[in-house]
Amino acid sequence: MKEKIDALLGEIKAAQAETEEQLEAYRLRFIGTKNVVKDLMQGMRDVAPDLRKEMGQSLNTLKNAAQDKFQELVGDVNRQKSADESHDHVDLTLPAAGTPLGGVHPIQAMEDQIIQIFSRMGFNVSDGPEIEDDWHNFTALNFPPNHPAREMQDTFFIERNPDMVLRTHTSNTQIRVMEGQKPPIRTICPGRVYRNETITARSHCFFHQVEGLYVDKGVSFKDLKDTLYHFAREMYGKNTKVRFRPSYFPFTEPSAEMDISCFICDQKGCNVCKYTGWVEILGSGMVDPNVLEACGIDPDVYSGFAFGMGIERQAMLKYQVNDLRLFSENDVRFLKQFQSL
C-alpha cells in the first residue's frame, strides 16, 4: 500500500489541466464519489495492526494533497479560460485606442484670448511675485496709509512679516516694470491675486486678473478709449457697444469703469445685466503722476494709462457661467464642457 500511496502522490504532483475536460477527469479520479483514495481506504482492513496508524496518516496526506491540487487546477483552468475569452474579443486589425486628452481650463483659455488680443496691439506680457511687499502692492500705487484695502478684511498679510502680503492686484507687476524699464512701456500683467473676501457665487478669496499699462510721451485718454474699444469688440463681437462711467482708483486720475452692452439679452434686460442693458467688465484711467514719480519716471515728460479686469468676470460673461466657484472646484463634469476651447 505504501508504494501505491507514493505513486499516487507523484501522479497528483505532476497533474496538469488546461481545459474543463482535463479538470473533470482529475476530479473523478481523485475527488469524486468513487476515487482511488477511497479504494485505498477500504483496503485498510487488510493492513497489519501495527502499520494501520502510519498508513492512515499517509492516506490523509494523500487526500489533502488531492484536494489542494484540485483547487490549484481550478485556478489554472479559470485563468486559461479568461485569457482565451479576452483573445477572442480582440480584433488585432483595429487601430490602437487613443489616449484621452483633457481640455484647457476656461480661465486659462480666457487669459490666453485676452493676451492674444493685446499682443496684436503691441503689448508684451510681464509677470511678478504673488507674495509682495507693501511698497509695490500699495505705497507706490498711491494708496494712502489709511486706505481700506490695507486692512485685514481686504488683504492677506504674512504673519511673520507684516510688511509682506499676498498681492491684491497685479498692479505690483506694473510698478516693477516701471522701476526696471524706461518708457515707452506697453505691457499686460496676468496672474492670480488674493483678497480676504467671503466665498460666494460672485466673489472668491483668490481670482485672476489681467492689468495693462502704457507709458510714453503724449499718451492721452483717447488712446485709452481706443484701446479698450478695440478689445471689447474683439472679445465680444463687432456690434458691442461701450460706455465709460467716472470712477475712482488711487493710482489713476481721471478714472473710469467701462461697461459693454449686454450681448445675452441684447440690452433688453436680464439677470446678468441686472435689467440695465449694461455689464461692467473693467476699470481704467490715466496713471496718476504720483505713481510715475514713485517709479522714477518724470510725469512732466511722460504720461500713461492703465486698466485692469477680472478674468473670471470675463469668462462668466463669455461662457454664461452663473457661479464663480465652479472655476476652482475642479468638477470634471463642468470642465468637460470646455474641451473644445
Residue 253's CATH number: 3.30.930.10
Please answer whether residues 217 and 302 qualify as being in contact, where contact means their C-beta atoms are separated by less than 8 angstroms.
yes
| Domain housing 53 | 2-88
Distance CA 110, CA 120 (A): 16
Any domain includes 99: no
Out of 88, 121, 136, pick the residue that ends a domain: 88
Q: Do 197 and 319 belong to one domain?
A: yes
Domain assignment present for 100: no
Same domain assignment for residues 237 and 327: yes
Q: What is the pLDDT of residue 217?
A: 96
Sheet of 206-216, strand order: 124-125, 185-194, 206-216, 303-310, 278-287, 252-261, 242-249
Q: Does the residue 279 lie in any domain?
A: yes
pTM confidence score: 0.68
Half-sphere exposure of 222 (CA within 13 A, CB side): 1
Contacts of residue 210, defined as CB under 8 A and 6 or more positions apart, other chains included, come to: 111, 114, 115, 170, 188, 189, 190, 308, 309, 311
What is the pLDDT, as a whole number, of residue 84? 65
> Residue 202: inside a domain, yes or no?
yes
Q: Are residues 110 and 236 in the same domain?
A: yes
CA atoms within 13 A on the CB side of 114: 30
Looking at 53, 88, 123, the residue that finishes a domain is 88
Is 131 found in the same domain as 75?
Answer: no
Q: Which residues pair with 208 in a beta bridge?
A: 192
Last residue of a domain, one of 36, 59, 88: 88
pLDDT computed for residue 90 by the predictor: 66
Q: Kindly state whether residue 11 falls inside one of the protein's structural domains.
A: yes
Pair (67, 204) in one structural domain: no
Per the structure, the count of domains in the chain is 2
Residues 204 and 323 in one domain: yes
CA dihedral 294, 299, 303, 304 (to 10 degrees): 10
Bond into 183 cis (ω within 30): no
- 286 part of a folded domain: yes
Q: Are residues 241 and 137 in the same domain?
A: yes
> Is the distance from CB of 201 to CB of 177 less than 8 angstroms?
no
Q: Are residues 195 and 251 in the same domain?
A: yes
**Is there a single domain that holds both residue 208 and residue 329?**
yes
Residue 96 maps to a domain:
no
124 and 236 belong to one structural domain: yes
pLDDT at 244: 95
- Residues of the chain with confidence (pLDDT) below 50: none
Percent of the chain scored above 90 by pLDDT? 45
Question: Residue 220 domain-assigned?
Answer: yes
